[in-house]
Structure 1
């Protein structure tokens, strides 16, 4: 489920939108009346959707959009006269007067996009640090020198030991180096 933050200048409007969203199965994390409150909540979350109006007491939607962390998208609920300004990425507009099914369908689409993005980030291989790379290279060199292996054979050996023991390659390389030093 996506983290949804609802922000409108009038607390009553924000609570009404929250109630509509929760009745339709969405998890609303916070209800706010100012952009500063949204930024405070957003800093503690990884990603999510901000459902907002055009203007707040302390800023406009464009400023809030610029200050939001990277993982956040914005759903602007405003009249169509403001849509010309909505050219930024991660910004979707829904027209006023608000139609319930438009809001729900649009938010469901945005939530699905966040889920796909999370899945894609999770599947991406992690980058090794410089120390990990160096440990793997040293372990390969030790294996090549002591066991007369080629670099490919040493790499495959470290990979196989890593998979067999359930550790990552850097930890396996550290183990090999500590064993070979004895």
Structure 2
């Protein structure tokens, strides 16, 4: 579930937006009345969406957006006269008068976008360190020398053993090295 922070300078506005979101199944992690509170809440959560107004007592939405962690997105609720196209790239804007269904559907779209980005980041293979690459290389060389395999065959062998045993290639290379060097 994606964390949502509601931040408006008027507490009444913040509570009304929170109530709309909670009724529609969103988890509101924090309700804030200042930019500093929103930044602190965002830092604690790390990722999610900040639903906010244009101005706070201590900052405006641009400053708030710049202070947010990388995993946070912003949904700006503002009247068209205040907005005038000044929103930075990455900030989604909804104009007044606000309809509850527009807010909910926009937030659902943003949540889906965040989930897609998380899934994409998770599916990317982890970069191996130079020590790990060297260990795999040594295991391949050992297999090539002792079992008269080509480099491709040795690599495939390590991959297959890795998949069969449910371990990563580095652990498999370590096992091969320890078994052959007995």
Following superposition, the deviation at residue 22 of structure 1 comes to 0.3
Aligned counterpart, 2:59: 59
Aligned counterpart, 1:76: 76
* Greater displacement, 150-159 / 44-53: 44-53
Matches within 5 A, 1:1-182: 1-81=1-81, 82-86=83-87, 88-182=88-182
Find the aligned partners of 2:84 and 2:128 in 1 and give their Cα distance. Answer: 43
Find the aligned partners of 2:179 and 2:149 in 1 and give their Cα distance. Answer: 17
Find the aligned partners of 1:15 and 1:131 in 2 and give their Cα distance. Answer: 53
Runs of 4 or more above 2 Å deviation: none
- Number of paired residues? 181
Find the aligned partners of 2:13 and 2:117 in 1 and give their Cα distance. Answer: 30
Structure 1 length normalisation: TM-score?
0.94
* Greater displacement, 48-57 / 38-47: 38-47
Find the aligned partners of 2:162 and 2:94 in 1 and give their Cα distance. Answer: 51
Following superposition, the deviation at residue 46 of structure 1 comes to 3.6
Find the aligned partners of 1:42 and 1:146 in 2 and give their Cα distance. Answer: 55
| Distance verdict in 2 for CA 1:126–1:83, change over 3 Å | farther
Which segments of 5 or more consecutive residues in structure 1 lack a partner in the other structure?
none
Deviations 1:95-147 (A, max 9, x none): 12222122111111111111111222222222222221111111111111122
Find the aligned partners of 1:92 and 1:83 in 2 and give their Cα distance. Answer: 13
- Contact (CA 8 Å) 1:72, 1:90: kept in 2 or not? no
